[in-house]
Amino acid sequence: RSSFYSSEIEMEEDLRPTLDRFAEDTSMIGFRYLHSKYKTWFRIIWGLMLIFSLGLTFYQVVERITYYFIFNPLATHRSFDAPTEVQFPSLLICNKMQLRASSVAKYSQPLLKTMCYLHDEEGAFNSSDHLQSFDHIDLRDVYRQSLQNVDDLVLSCEYDK
46 pLDDT band, cuts 50/70/90, is confident
Rounded to whole angstroms, the Cα distance separating 35 from 25 reads: 11
Residue where a domain stops, chosen among 49, 71, 93: 71
Greater pLDDT, 3 or 77: 77
> 112 and 66 in one domain?
no
Give pLDDT, residue 77. Answer: 81
In a domain, 43, yes or no: yes
Give alpha helix (H) positions in the chain: 2-25, 40-66, 101-107, 109-116, 139-146, 150-153
In a domain, 42, yes or no: yes
> 112 and 63 in one domain?
no
Rounded to whole angstroms, the Cα distance separating 105 from 113 reads: 9
Specify the DSSP class assigned to residue 138.
-
> 107 and 65 in one domain?
no
In a domain, 10, yes or no: yes
Assess whether pLDDT exceeds 80 at residue 5: no
Domain limits at 135? 101-153
pLDDT digits (tens, 9 = 90+) for 112-156: 777 777 777 777 777 767 777 777 777 788 777 787 777 777 777
Assess whether pLDDT exceeds 70 at residue 159: no
CB count within 10 Å of CB 104 equals 19
Domains: count for the chain: 2
Greater pLDDT, 55 or 128: 55
pLDDT digits (tens, 9 = 90+) for 70-109: 776 667 788 888 777 777 776 666 767 677 788 888 877 8
Assess whether pLDDT exceeds 60 at residue 4: no
Give pLDDT, residue 12. Answer: 62
In a domain, 96, yes or no: no
Rounded to whole angstroms, the Cα distance separating 148 from 94 reads: 11
Assess whether pLDDT exceeds 60 at residue 33: yes
> 109 and 53 in one domain?
no
The mean pLDDT of 31-57, rounded to a whole number, is 83
Assess whether pLDDT exceeds 80 at residue 36: no
> 56 and 6 in one domain?
yes
> 61 and 8 in one domain?
yes
In a domain, 39, yes or no: yes
At residue 125, what are phi and psi to the nearest 5 degrees? -75, 135
Q: Is the pTM of this model over 0.85?
A: no
